[in-house]
């Protein structure tokens, strides 16, 4: 439902009067948006949806009564609308609700913008408006109450040449942006406990949310996930997240290298930095995966890895919230496989089923 003058129709759900007024002011100051209503709790939001369908909902996560997770779950199971979670909470103990909302079907998380007069006001407001505009175009589908996932085994993917892809894979590198958290959860949850190599992840995410994200991923997948530290030795069967404001790369002898070099593709950490370092250190002994997200971060470097003989994967359009990064990688020939999340996990399991492979670091001490 667009507004009468063709603007993007936004429903604001925010229980703080000051934050609600700020969001309304930002949205109505931009000619792209029209605020069709602003309510202070989830029950009111659900009542609004009984008679109207906005293009996008901008919603707080912590509200009286139903929290943002429960409201999102009900929306996606009854009247699906793109939901953008707008949260100021960065406490790891509470951020889990934010990522559970993504699990339930929310399409993005954005930090609440700083107020007028704050040095970050303009940048944070512009980021929020960019995300809301982009997410208003996302197609969402009705979600039925989730059933327990089958524990049956999945067959390995066989490439087009008919041969199973085996080789001394030493590292998996993953880049993700908008829509990435639930996809990463699906992939990591599907990997066996004995997964024999480390997983390096660059996920574009609002500053401050990373510790809660790491905890949510670890809890939800059973796969150990930590924020990377400079010089840390990589362990098999562990996932490492690039820290806020730092590029993460693979250094010699299987160690983490962090850098505060200039942003690439407008972001730091950048997927491009990670992929380039993996290409330099591992070449054909790597798997690189580019997931949902806007922009071109990692696109050129995925092609670099494919040309070096690595296995390269781009997420398919059907399962991507935003098919910008993986779509660009497919168009430029950087992806040897185009798959949905479940099949990406199956591919990884199949590729790494070999009983032995060289380690990233020597197994004996010098």
Q: Which residues are annotated as catalytic?
A: 177, 204, 297
Q: Which two tokens stand for residue 255?
A: 């160690």
Can you say how many angstroms the Cα of residue 95 is from the centroid of all Cα atoms in its chain? 15
In eight-state DSSP terms, residue 364 is S
Which residue, 149, 172, 130, is CA-closest to 26? 130
**What one-character DSSP code corresponds to residue 163?**
S
Q: Where are the alpha helices (DSSP H) in the chain?
A: 17-28, 42-49, 68-78, 92-104, 121-135, 180-189, 210-221, 271-281, 299-307, 324-331, 341-351
Measured in whole angstroms, the distance separating CA 124 from the mean position of its chain's CA atoms is 19
Cα–Cα dist 333/338, whole Å: 11
Instruction: Please give the DSSP secondary-structure letter assigned to residue 285.
Output: G
- Report in angstroms the alpha-carbon separations of 338 from 20, 225, 297: 41, 25, 17
Reading the block at residue 316, the tokens are 């398919």
What tokens appear for 358 in the block? 């060289």
Cα distance between residue 204 and residue 325, in whole Å: 12
**Do 234 and 228 contact (CB within 8 A), yes or no?**
no
CA triple 67-32-320, angle to 5 deg: 60
């Amino acid at each position: 439902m667009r507004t009468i003058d063709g603007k993007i129709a936004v429903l604001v759900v925010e229980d703080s009067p000051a934050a609600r007024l700020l969001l309304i002011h930002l949205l109505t100051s931009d000619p792209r948006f029209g605020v069709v209503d602003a309510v202070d709790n989830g029950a009111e939001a659900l009542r609004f949806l009984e008679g109207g369908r906005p293009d996008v909902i901008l919603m707080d996560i912590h509200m009286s009564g139903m929290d943002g997770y429960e409201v999102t779950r009900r929306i996606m199971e009854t009247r699906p609308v793109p939901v953008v979670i707008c949260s100021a909470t960065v406490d790891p103990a509470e951020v889990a609700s934010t990522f559970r909302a993504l699990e339930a079907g929310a399409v993005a998380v954005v930090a609440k913008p700083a107020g007028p007069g704050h040095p970050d006001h303009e940048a944070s407001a512009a980021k929020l408006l960019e995300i809301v505009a982009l997410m208003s175009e996302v197609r969402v589908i009705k979600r039925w109450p989730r059933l327990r996932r089958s524990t049956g085994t999945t067959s390995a993917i066989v490439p087009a040449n008919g041969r199973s892809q085996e080789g001394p894979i030493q590292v998996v590198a993953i880049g993700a942006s908008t829509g990435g958290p639930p996809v990463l959860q699906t992939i990591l949850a599907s990997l066996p406990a004995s997964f024999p190599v480390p997983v390096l992840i660059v996920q574009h995410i609002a500053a401050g949310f990373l510790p809660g994200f790491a905890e949510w991923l670890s809890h939800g997948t059973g796969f150990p996930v930590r924020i990377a530290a400079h010089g840390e030795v990589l362990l098999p069967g562990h996932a490492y997240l690039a820290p806020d404001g730092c590029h993460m790369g693979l250094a010699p002898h299987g160690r983490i290298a962090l850098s505060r070099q200039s942003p690439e593709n407008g972001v730091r950490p950048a997927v491009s930095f990670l992929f380039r370092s993996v290409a330099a250190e591992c070449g054909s002994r790597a798997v690189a995966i580019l997931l949902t997200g806007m922009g071109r971060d990692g696109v050129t470097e995925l092609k670099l890895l494919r040309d070096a003989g690595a296995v390269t994967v781009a997420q398919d359009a059907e399962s991507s919230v935003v098919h910008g990064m993986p779509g660009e990688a497919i168009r430029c020939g950087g992806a040897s496989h185009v798959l949905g999340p479940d099949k990406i996990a199956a591919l990884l399991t199949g590729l790494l089923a070999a009983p032995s492979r060289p380690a990233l670091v020597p197994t004996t001490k010098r």
